[in-house]
Structures are given as structure tokens and as C-alpha cells.
Amino acid sequence: MAFELPQLPYPKDALEPHTSVRTLEFHHDKHHAAYVTNLNNLVKDSPMASQSLEDLIKATAKDDSRAAIFNNAAQVWNHTFFWRCMKPNGGGQPAGDIAAAISQSFGGYDKFKEEFKAACVGQFGSGWGWLVADGTTMKVTKTPNAVNPLSLGQTALLTCDVWEHAYYLDYQNRRPDFVETFLGHLVNWDFVAANLRKVR
């Protein structure tokens, strides 16, 4: 069965004014869709077409001869995950278990925020900022291009897409403002908490 473009988990105007309808039209309907189309073309008539996306990513992560498959598969996964990391009226300080886990790993929300923002802003060129579970601790990481925690043996808890296509229409070159808005108004902490519960 071919890989499919999942629907956004909210209407396209749900994240206004922080992420515009126009950004989601391009980012989901064009960019994310193109990764799905490219991936399907690359694995057509191969046993890889019937693998799970996760298995395909792990199997191709360290194989340079299948870099195009890895890049498109990982970008399909990363975007599907990214959409779920956001919700209308999200962001700000989390509560409950995730707040406790952040205090334990970073010494408080403000320190986490500083580290996450630095990772997102400091990723040179295209890539992703992440909060991951790595063994018994949580870490902030950044990855270039399509690379994701799944391909590095870590569990993704939260991500921010810092490819220019994620923010340029709304924020132009102001990536720090986009990341600040993501943390302040968009993060779906319920999703992050659910991801953490799966590994704890």
C-alpha cells in the first residue's frame, strides 16, 4: 500500500495568527505532499513499499545508497509528527508529568525553553529542533535536513520545523520570532506528554 499524506489534525485557520492559512497550504499541501509523492515513486514495486514508515526510516538511515528514500521517508514522518506537536491556544508552560520531567531534566521550564530555542535558532540551514527521550533522561537536540531522533535511537517527544518553508511566509528571516511563537502559543503539551508516557 502506498504511503499517504495524513490530514492536518486541525482546520487550516486554527493556528492563526501564529501560523497562517497560506503557510499551511504550502507547508502541508505542497511540501509534505511532495515528500509523500517522492517516497512512493522511489519505493514503487519494491518490498520497501509495504514496510512501515518507521522501519523504512531505520533501515535506510545509515545507507548512503538509499539517501533519497531516507530523506523523503523521514520528512514524511517528521511533518506528520510536527503537525501533532501544535494545537490552537497551545504553548506556554506545561503542567503535570511533563512539567515534572522537564524540571528534572533541565532544572525548570525557562531553562528548557532557552535550550530549545538555542537549538532551533542555531541549526545552520534546514533542519529540526527536538525534545527527545534518550534512555532515562530528556534532551534538547537539533538535526540537519531530514535526520530525526528515530534514526538515532532516541524517542521524539516534540519538534519544531526550522526549514525556511515552515516560517518564511509569516516571519520572513526572523526564525527566532517563529520559535518564540511556537513555544509561546502553539506547542501541544498533551501530545508531548503522551509521547513520554509511551517510553516511561
Residues near Fe ion (CB under 5 A) are 161, 163, 166
Residue 46 beta carbon to Fe ion: minimum distance, rounded to whole angstroms: 26
In the complex, which residue's CB is closest to Fe ion? 161
Round to whole Å and give the CA distance between 83 and 114: 22
Residue 169 beta carbon to Fe ion: minimum distance, rounded to whole angstroms: 12
Round to whole Å and give the CA distance between 115 and 141: 9
Residue 140 beta carbon to Fe ion: minimum distance, rounded to whole angstroms: 19
161 or 170, CB closer to Fe ion? 161
164 or 190, CB closer to Fe ion? 164
Helix (H, G, I), strand (E, B) or coil at 185: helix
Please list, in sequence order, all residues whose beta carbon lies within 8 angstroms of the beta carbon of residue 121, skipping any fewer than 6 positions away.
162, 175, 176, 179
99 or 169, CB closer to Fe ion? 169
Residue 116 beta carbon to Fe ion: minimum distance, rounded to whole angstroms: 17
3 or 163, CB closer to Fe ion? 163
Residue 24 beta carbon to Fe ion: minimum distance, rounded to whole angstroms: 11
163 or 178, CB closer to Fe ion? 163
Query: Which residues in 168-179 are b (16+ Cβ under 10 Å) and which e?
Result: ebbbeeebeebb
Residue 183 beta carbon to Fe ion: minimum distance, rounded to whole angstroms: 17
Q: Which grid coordinates are listed for 173?
A: 528571516
Write 140-147 long-range contacts (CB < 8 A, 24+).
140/106, 140/112, 140/115, 140/116, 145/71, 146/70, 146/71, 146/72, 146/74, 146/75, 146/78, 147/74
